[in-house]
């Protein structure tokens, strides 16, 4: 990935941070983008300390203006964006019967609309260069459904639809668009679950363990590589067999 620039949203922590580190290790220059300025700086410092190249960008996916400004700033710094990883995502769980519209809008606006808007800003450069990799972070629940997550499930199912639609639009320009659908992954978010809940989830997974952020990052790195140049419109499940 030498001379490639990767823009990773939600790169300040969790899976996004691990994806940024993995792509940097493969030789890409990383745009560490999130709304957490201090954590952005920490991830950049970690990449640079390991011999990689990176710079931070403040990104607020709830603001179309921030999205435009963030991409413009990244292009000014790097000159081009070759790889876009739409990783940033939020949850606001609750039973559908009582779900507030603002909670529905909050999750859809960041997880789906935000991903679309930033992709829209990055596409012209990829089209001009006739090369690009767009990797969208879906979820196992976007395939299987999940109670108390109507908004999150809808956003991730929408990401899968967006992936397939864009893959058809952009394929003739040598731009691939794929999705990664993680299952139960060990993150700060899942660490807060009660042990009995985690044990029950692991028992239902054929590989009998939770995944690690590195498992997801490896899938993203493959889809971003030259070797994946004939794969587009695909949803790569990283779930240990949790859903088949």
Give domain status of residue 244, yes or no: no
Closest CA to 115 of 92, 143, 140, 84: 84
pLDDT band at 48 (very low <50, low <70, confident <90, very high): very high
Mean pLDDT, the chain, rounded, equals 97
Q: Would you state the pLDDT for residue 171?
A: 98
Structural domain boundaries, residue 176: 5-238
Q: What is the CATH number of the domain that holds 179?
A: 3.40.50.720
The predicted-structure confidence for 85-135, as pLDDT tens digits, reads as follows: 999 999 999 999 999 999 999 999 999 999 999 999 999 999 999 999 999
pLDDT band at 24 (very low <50, low <70, confident <90, very high): very high
The predicted-structure confidence for 28-39, as pLDDT tens digits, reads as follows: 999 999 999 999
Q: How far is CA 143 from CA 179, 212, 231, in A?
A: 12, 20, 20
What is the reported pTM?
Answer: 0.97
Instruction: Return the ∠ at Cα 52 (arms to 177 and 230), rounded to 5°.
Output: 25
The predicted-structure confidence for 146-164, as pLDDT tens digits, reads as follows: 999 999 999 999 999 999 9
Does position 69 have pLDDT exceeding 80, yes or no?
yes
Average pLDDT value for residue range 4-21: 98
| β-bridge partners, 181 | 237
Is 21:47 a contact under the CB 8 Å cutoff?
Answer: yes
Share of the chain above pLDDT 90, in %: 95
Does position 169 have pLDDT exceeding 80, yes or no?
yes
Give domain status of residue 243, yes or no: no
Give domain status of residue 117, yes or no: yes
Which residues are the active-site residues?
152
Domain count, the chain: 1
Q: Would you state the pLDDT for residue 97?
A: 97
**Cα 96 to Cα 150: distance, rounded to the nearest angstrom:** 6
Distance of alpha carbon 94 from the chain centroid: 23
- What region, left, alpha or beta, does residue 145 occupy, with left being phi > 0 and alpha being psi -120 to 50 degrees? left
pLDDT band at 79 (very low <50, low <70, confident <90, very high): very high
Does position 1 have pLDDT exceeding 90, yes or no?
no
Does position 189 have pLDDT exceeding 90, yes or no?
no
pLDDT band at 221 (very low <50, low <70, confident <90, very high): very high
Q: Would you state the pLDDT for residue 190?
A: 82
Average pLDDT value for residue range 222-230: 98
What b/e sequence results for 133-153 when a residue is b if at least 16 CB atoms lie within 10 Å of its CB, and e otherwise? bbbbbbbbbbbeeeeebbbbb
Does position 140 have pLDDT exceeding 80, yes or no?
yes
What b/e sequence results for 5-41 when a residue is b if at least 16 CB atoms lie within 10 Å of its CB, and e otherwise? bbbbbbbbbbbbbbbbbbbbebebbbbbbbbbeebbe
Q: Which residue has the higher pLDDT, 187 or 42?
A: 42
Residue 123 is inside which H or E element, if any? helix 115-129
């Amino acid at each position: 990935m030498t001379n490639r620039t990767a823009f990773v949203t939600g790169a300040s922590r969790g899976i996004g941070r691990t994806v940024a580190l993995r792509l940097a290790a493969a030789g890409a220059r990383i745009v560490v983008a999130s709304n957490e300025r201090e954590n952005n700086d920490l991830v950049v410092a970690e990449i640079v300390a390991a011999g990689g190249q990176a710079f931070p960008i403040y990104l607020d996916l709830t603001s179309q203006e921030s999205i435009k400004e963030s991409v413009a700033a990244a292009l000014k710094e790097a000159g081009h964006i070759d790889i876009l990883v739409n990783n940033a995502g939020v949850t606001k769980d609750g039973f559908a019967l009582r779900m507030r519209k603002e909670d529905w809008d909050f999750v859809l606006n960041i997880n789906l609309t935000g991903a679309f808007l930033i992709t829209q800003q990055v596409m012209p450069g990829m089209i001009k260069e006739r090369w690009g990799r767009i990797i969208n972070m879906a979820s196992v629940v976007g395939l299987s459904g999940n109670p108390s997550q109507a908004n999150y499930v809808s956003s991730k199912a929408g990401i899968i639809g967006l992936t397939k639609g864009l893959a058809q639009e952009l394929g003739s320009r040598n731009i691939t668009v794929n999705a990664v659908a993680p299952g139960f992954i060990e993150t700060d978010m899942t660490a807060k679950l009660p042990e009995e809940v985690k044990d029950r989830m692991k028992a239902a997974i054929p590989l009998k363990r939770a995944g690690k952020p590195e498992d997801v990052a490896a899938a993203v790195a493959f889809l971003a590589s030259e070797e994946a140049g004939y794969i587009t419109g695909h949803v790569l499940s990283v779930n240990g067999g949790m859903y088949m």
